[in-house]
Amino acid sequence: MKRCCEGVGLPCLFKGVGMASSRPPKYLLVFDFDETIINENSDDSIVRAAPGQALPEHIRQSFREGFYNEYMQRVLAYMGDQGVKMGDFKAVYENIPLSPGMSDLFQFLSKNHELFEIILISDANMFGIESKLRAAGFYSLFRKIFSNPSSFDKRGYFTLGPYHSHKCLDCPANMCKRKILTEYLAERAQEEVEFERVFYVGDGANDFCPSVTLTSADVAFPRKGYPMHQMTQEMEKKQPGTFQATVVPWESATEVARYLQELLKKKC
């Protein structure tokens, strides 16, 4: 995968905004949503809108590993039966707290928007993600959001579908983030936009899958102590050197902002 303009003298990244904005973004920054941008799993959070803020046992027992999307379809159908409406869901999403330091990271990215192309890949749902990002004031940062389709039907029920089908054995049936990221990079390359580096900020096992495709020029930012971080550590122990990207674990997203800031300083 070609990443940079070898042999082309690029201007200092801090010279005039007009000059920087006339060129394609140099870096692709990929975010997960649940327990990355926000400090909770939004699928668990919306149960706060259910009667008694709880689900009946028969719903909870219906979960099958790898089929979480189908499980959430049953959860939402139950909540619709209980009279939970769009405004109730929206209020819950809007009030989910951002992860520590995430607001600082987004403000840094806002100030340096001409250098970064930012996308979001999440196994949550479009309505919830858009509700939260608009409420937080950061929706416009993202060039594209990839998530499960969601809408409200004629009854006012919140409905959810799978994002796509795929053949990856490591990911849930409805979404492989590696497939999404690979196709996005290929699509942007066809549009003559090639990135010098890719940065991936995530937390879960489904974030580990795409991070394995990153190159030695790229950086993976796994949330410290979460599955993505644990899986990178396990791979390094079992197969040293297989995971190519630089790994920068974070507890607060200010650590991600600080890393990116230092990177930009070195470029000048």
Was 32 annotated as part of a binding site? yes
Distance CA 187, CA 199 (A): 18
User: In the annotation, is 32 catalytic?
Assistant: yes
Was 123 annotated as part of a binding site? yes
What are the beta bridge partners of residue 202? 222
Distance CA 156, CA 202 (A): 32
Q: Considering 34, 88, 170, 218, which one is annotated as catalytic?
A: 34
User: In the annotation, is 88 catalytic?
Assistant: no
| CB 181 within 8 Å of CB 213 | yes
Was 44 annotated as part of a binding site? no
Q: Considering 32, 81, 104, 207, which one is annotated as catalytic?
A: 32
Distance CA 252, CA 233 (A): 19
Distance CA 157, CA 136 (A): 25
Write out the catalytic residue numbers: 32, 34
Binding-site residue positions:
32, 34, 43, 123, 203
Binding-site residue positions for Mg(2+):
32, 34, 203
Binding-site residue positions for substrate:
43, 123
